[in-house]
Chains A and B, each alone.
Chain A
Amino acid sequence: MQQVKMIITGPFSSGKTEFINSISEIEVVSTERSISSEVERTVKDNTTVAMDFGRITVDDDLVLYLFGTPGQRRFDFMWEILAEGMLGFVVMVDSTKPETFREAKSILETFRAYAPTPYVVAANKQDLPDAWKTDDLRIALRIEDGVKLLPCVANQKESVKTVLLELLYSILEEMEAK
């Protein structure tokens, strides 16, 4: 059985767990814990401390695993371990929270340094009225023109499918270019 993996990363509360939940065929194996910090508890009650783990069975001998990284910086020692051997990665950004953009940019650079694999940026929560437009996010996050920045609503399966497919197309393009 061949196994491949993709990483879903991004700042705290950017929608990584929700993203995996929307598409995984198994209930996401989540290592969520109650949030100890009062600050973080105001945003959500639980957070991922090690990883989220989703699965998509492709056929009898191929499985795709989706790993969600913990968003809080104090767990970043896990990131490199998770990143090893990844096919590509998705950086989730909460389009409604400009206070997290700097962190998103930093996470993106960290993962780029782990491995030269293709990636896409998913501008999550685009259904909310105060979401920044993707064109503005591209400038704010200083994302190069060649990198896909996709509108996303992490709790909608079709939106998640589009993001994953676009990442896979990028992976394919890179393979064809070699």
Chain B
Amino acid sequence: MPLQGNLRDFSTTQLLNLINLAGKTGTLAIFEGIPTKDKDAMGGVKMAAGKERARVAFKTGKLIHAALDDQDGNLVAVLNKAGKLTTEQARIIRERARNTSDKALALLLINANYVSQKDVVSSVQQHTLDVVYDLLSWHEGPFRFDDDQLPGSDRIMVPIDLENVIIEGARRIKQNEVLIQEIPNLDISLKFPENAKEKYKGVHLSVEEWRIVSFVNPKNTIRQIAKANNMSDLEIRKIIYGLLQAGLVQLVRSSAPILDGKGRVIPKAPAVQETVVRRIIDRIRSI
């Protein structure tokens, strides 16, 4: 069953995080939203899926291909955009290799010394990232993720780790409300995931992000880290959100006594004996 929703409820960054952590293989399609007369469960206008706007493919949690509906994404256009082919060269190749697949065309161009293999890989990679970075600014539109559906084998697919893309997505968030919803409480602390060494390999963080990472310790709350780095709530939330989504840090749940509005400790669960719980278990089993 496909994964469906709307970007206004589950953002592109969150989708990339889900695909990354679950190691998914498949294709994400994003559509134009056509308003219906119905409302969704939170009162928003229910959107039906219209024309497809973008298509992004993933293999075992890595980004491998991305295309926008209104953009020419074939190899010649990609190499031209990257400055590896002149517009005139691109025009001639288009005319002569009209029915040639991207993969076959890449081989022809490399063999004819028009471009190197490195040029092809870096240009395709940059094009894929440009498309996905564009998607990060989309805040509305029905989406569907179909497991195991991949582009044809004639397409050039370059695997890209999603962690850096997710962090870039968080850097581009402008609305504080989104961040407050995601990280409502700044008085909690952070810790590294178990496989931290592996997770941080190949991740490109900014100086500010590294500074925050250096303070990650269950003893430091996010608020304290912000204060130590002279950062606003928005700035710290943005960085922590990116690190969380990329799986580079985890929130630490507090085990301190919980106080009510008047500073009183809220009583813990009732002192119930084990035998009581066992009796309830037996009763429910028998229903």
Count of chain B residues with a beta carbon within 8 Å of a chain A beta carbon:
47
Question: Who on chain A is nearest to B143 by CB?
Answer: A98
Q: How many A-B residue pairs have CB under 8 A?
A: 131
Given known pairs A98-B6, A161-B285, A176-B274, the reply for A116 and B42 (CB within 8 Å) is: no
Given known pairs A12-B41, A140-B10, A176-B274, the reply for A168 and B284 (CB within 8 Å) is: yes
Of B5, B6, B280, the contact of A58 (CB 8 Å cutoff)? B280
Contact residues, B22-57 vs A (CB, 8 A): 22, 38-44
Contact yes or no, B5 A98, CB < 8 A? yes
Closest Cβ of chain A to B160, distance in Å, is: 20
Contact yes or no, B269 A88, CB < 8 A? yes
| Interface-side segment among B13-21, B168-176, B202-210, B226-234 | B13-21
Contact yes or no, A42 B258, CB < 8 A? no
The yes or no answer to B112 lying at the interface (CB within 8 A) is no
Count of chain A residues with a beta carbon within 8 Å of a chain B beta carbon:
61
Contact yes or no, B39 A43, CB < 8 A? yes
The yes or no answer to A75 lying at the interface (CB within 8 A) is no
**B residues in contact with A132, CB < 8 Å:** 3
**B residues in contact with A153, CB < 8 Å:** none
Of A11, A102, A168, the contact of B280 (CB 8 Å cutoff)? A168
Contact yes or no, B14 A140, CB < 8 A? yes
Contact yes or no, A62 B184, CB < 8 A? no
Closest Cβ of chain B to A4, distance in Å, is: 6
**B residues in contact with A27, CB < 8 Å:** none
Interface residues of A (CB under 8 A from B): 2, 4, 11-13, 23, 37-40, 42-43, 56-59, 62, 64, 80, 84-88, 94, 97-103, 106, 109, 112-117, 129-133, 135-136, 139-140, 142, 144, 157, 161, 164-165, 168-169, 171-172, 175-176
